[in-house]
């Protein structure tokens, strides 16, 4: 199972879904699913099985509202498997979502809008290693060079009782779990990949990368 490839597939799905607003993928904390999903198989190196569930297909702005959902989502799957390299994409099939989203080896991602509402879900199961053991990191990266992923910088967190959150008001200082001057976390699609220093560049906040974690290569 490759988290690297599954994350790339989910990002490609989010970038191609024909919603009228931007969406991004986020690792799901609830692998369960109800209803139906469209599933496709990809024969390649690596191979993959991808299941996509759109919670409200009427929100798809693809100009084909009367067409079968599997046909409407086919361009999305084509973009998704493009990050995996050469192979053959099978036809989409409408199946029970519960079975494919909870299948062994499946990695589940929520596709969320700007408010964090889930508008679609995707389950990705990667079969085999890309190009065999001899495939280089540069070859893998070239396959997803055009895929956009969310890079976020986090300076700290805290936990608060609901009663304290409800009393927040302008001017209130909320202490975080990190000392002033400590490096900020750099996260790729929610996964910690490195640390850096927050700086100002041309009047905007920016991050100076200080360290990339060794585990980032396994993303």
Q: Which residues of the chain have pLDDT under 50?
A: 1, 130-137, 217-219
pLDDT at 142: 58
What are the domain boundaries of the chain? 3-148, 152-218
* pLDDT tens per residue across span 32-56: 788 999 999 999 888 899 999 999 9
pLDDT at residue 1, as a whole number: 46
Predicted pLDDT of residue 129: 52
pTM: 0.61
Domain boundaries 3-148, CATH class: alpha beta
CATH T-level topology, domain 152-218: Surface presentation of antigens (SPOA) (2.30.330)
pLDDT at 30: 80
Q: What is the pLDDT of residues 164-179, one digit of tens each?
A: 888 999 999 998 888 8
DSSP sequence for 167-189: T--TT-----SS-TTPPEEEEET
- Phi and psi at residue 67, in whole multiples of 5°? -75, 155
Q: Which of 68, 188, 65, 73 is nearest to 120 (CA)?
A: 73
**What's the CA dihedral at 132, 137, 139, 143 to 10 degrees?**
100
56-65 long-range CB contacts below 8 Å, 24 or more apart? 56/119, 59/19, 59/20, 59/119, 60/17, 60/18, 60/19, 61/18, 61/19, 61/20, 62/18
**DSSP character at residue 199:** E
Cβ atoms 129, 46 nearer than 8 A: yes
Q: How many CB atoms lie within 10 A of CB 85?
A: 18
Alpha helices in the chain (DSSP H): 3-16, 69-82, 97-101, 137-143, 162-166
């Amino acid at each position: 199972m490759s988290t690297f490839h599954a994350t790339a597939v989910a990002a490609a799905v989010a970038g191609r879904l024909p919603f009228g607003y931007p969406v991004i993928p986020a690792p799901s904390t609830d692998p369960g699913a109800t209803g139906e999903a469209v599933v496709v198989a990809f024969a390649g190196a690596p191979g993959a099985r991808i299941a996509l569930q759109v919670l409200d297909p009427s929100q798809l702005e693809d100009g084909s509202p009367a067409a079968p959902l599997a046909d409407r989502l086919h361009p999305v799957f084509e973009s998704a498997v493009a990050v995996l390299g050469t192979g053959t994409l099978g036809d989409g099939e409408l199946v029970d979502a519960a079975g494919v989203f909870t299948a062994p080896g499946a990695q589940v991602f929520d596709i969320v809008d700007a408010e964090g509402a889930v508008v679609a879900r995707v389950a990705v199961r990667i079969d085999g290693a890309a190009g065999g053991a001899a495939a280089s990191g540069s070859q893998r990266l070239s396959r997803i060079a055009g895929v956009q992923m969310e890079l976020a910088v986090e300076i700290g967190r805290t936990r608060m009782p609901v009663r304290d959150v409800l009393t927040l008001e302008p001017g209130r200082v909320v202490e975080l779990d990190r000392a002033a001057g400590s490096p900020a976390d750099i996260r790729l699609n929610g996964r910690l990949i490195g640390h850096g220093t927050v700086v100002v560049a041309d009047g905007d906040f920016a991050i100076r990368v200080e360290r990339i974690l060794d585990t980032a290569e396994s993303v």
